[in-house]
Amino acid sequence: MTTPGLTISRILHAGYVFDCDGTTIAFDTIFENPFSRNCHAFPDVRFDVDAIRRQRFAAVFISHFHDDHCSLDSLDLLDRATPLYIYCIFDALFDMVRQLGFTDVHQLRLNDPVTVGPFTVTPREAMDVDVDSMFQVQAAGRNVLNVVDSWIDDATQAQLVELGPWDMVLWPFQTMREIEVLTPSRAAAAPPELPAEWIAQLQALQPRYVVPSSCQFVQEPWSWYNRAFFPITYAQFAREVGAALPAATIVRLNPGTSVRFDDVALQPAPPLAWIAPVGEQDVDYAYEGNAAPPSTASIARHFAALTAVQMARVMDYCRVALPAKYSEVEAASSYFDAPRYWRLSVYDHLGQASVFDYLLDGEMATLVDEPGAPGWTTDIPAAKLYGALEQGESLTTMYLRINDARFDADAERDLLDVDAVDDPLIRCLFSDTFGAYQAAQLRRLLAR
């Protein structure tokens, strides 16, 4: 009797469909292009939404709550009886999914296996246990590790080695520079190689097949991020991993493409019928260091004008709500223990700035008319600030620019140990919020 085969198909980014013996499950289901507001599929694809609505997955597994892995617009396409298994420590996400109409919703626990037909899916611990998880997927005698977005610590690495041997590892191959692009004038270019710990970890796991995973997107066609955000190419990944694991095969899975484990090896399989390729598919990334970033004024001109009501919302936030919020959020680094002048510049669709100067002193942020020398600066398009306030826009899509100026010698010395995410605007927008993107989606979906 022939052993049932295991078919693995790529959706997009970290999204996959696994099929074994007629049972189909899916992971991190994103059926949108673009997704997360400005993440455009790379290579480009088109989703057949009506065909997706006809799919009947035996289960869907979601590794974590980030909007490029858990989108209510994508879940909205699924049958509401679909069992959903979500790794998240926040009850609010489960409440939102149930409000969308799903009736079979489960909270995943680390190392607690879930059986769906011939599949055993076990969440494994990721580097940030409060945020994300990895998946071990077993079926048809195969053992697959879906690392999703995670970095792996030493303890988990030792556990994963013991759980082998591994037939396939889906490895997050892009380091991505989502923090560095916030401070391009201060961030060094990425080194021209994969992180050394990745190579060591893959060598310890010794998989038969490695799939470069968890990327496959770029930003808007005009965006300078497309030259600065993605340091690793598919070609580089294949070259370095192939040299480190000569017995392994590197398998590129473009969106919609499928492979099948038979009794002997991995073979091509029919593609997903509901994903249509658009244009050249074997595209690759091009990295140019910090890529001469354009000014925030010029970036802001790419966005549509806000209405008078929307702009009033932004201005009111800067004048009233932000100073009030600053007094409520937790302190950042010791840099802000001393009084600092902070300049926030908000650029409209014409590239014209509204400038707000604040004195940050302890827990207080006070607007001032005659500021001293700034010790921190933040630039942002008005459209993106509105998006964060009302549409759940996340940090990686906002084209925020931090500390593009040079300050006095004392401030520059003190800044050496400060993280960009200690930025006062970031703290006020995101320090005590959860699921703003999904909450905005839910409001819109329920209002239909």
User: CA-based angle 121:126:130, to the nearest 5?
Assistant: 105
User: CA-based angle 123:128:131, to the nearest 5?
Assistant: 70
Q: What is the pLDDT of residues 265-293, one digit of tens each?
A: 899 999 999 999 999 999 999 999 988 89
Distance between CA 61 and CA 179 in Å, rounded?
Answer: 28
Query: Taking a C-beta distance cutoff of 8 angstroms, is the pair 100, 76 a contact?
Result: yes
The pLDDT score that the predictor gives to residue 1 is: 43
Q: What is the pTM of this model?
A: 0.96
Per-residue pLDDT, averaged over 22-26, amounts to 97
Q: Which CATH architecture has domain 296-446?
A: 2-Layer Sandwich (3.30)
The pLDDT score that the predictor gives to residue 85 is: 98
Contacts (Cβ under 8 Å, ≥6 apart) of 83: 58, 59, 60, 104, 105, 106, 116
Q: Which residue has the tokens 């050394």?
A: 196
The pLDDT score that the predictor gives to residue 192 is: 82
The pLDDT score that the predictor gives to residue 135 is: 98
Q: Which residue has the tokens 């009111």?
A: 316
Averaged pLDDT score across all residues of the chain = 95
Q: Is the pLDDT of residue 416 over 60?
A: yes
Domain boundaries along the sequence of the chain:
6-277, 296-446
Q: Distance from CA of residue 427 to its chain's centroid?
A: 19
Per-residue pLDDT, averaged over 2-9, amounts to 83
pLDDT category of residue 417 using cuts at 50, 70 and 90: confident
Fold (topology level) of 6-277: Metallo-beta-lactamase; Chain A (3.60.15)
Q: What is the pLDDT of residues 70-127, one digit of tens each?
A: 999 999 999 999 999 999 999 999 999 999 999 999 999 999 999 999 999 999 999 9
Distance between CA 186 and CA 447 in Å, rounded?
Answer: 44
Kindly list the distances between the CA atom of residue 357 and the CA atoms of 273, 343, 374, 378, 393, in Å, as whole numbers in the listed order. 54, 5, 8, 10, 24
- Of 15, 22, 77, 23, nearest to 50 by C-alpha is 77
Q: What is the pLDDT of residues 221-242, one digit of tens each?
A: 999 999 999 999 999 999 999 9
Q: Is the pLDDT of residue 415 over 60?
A: yes
Q: What is the pLDDT of residues 300-328, one digit of tens each?
A: 999 999 999 999 999 999 999 999 999 99
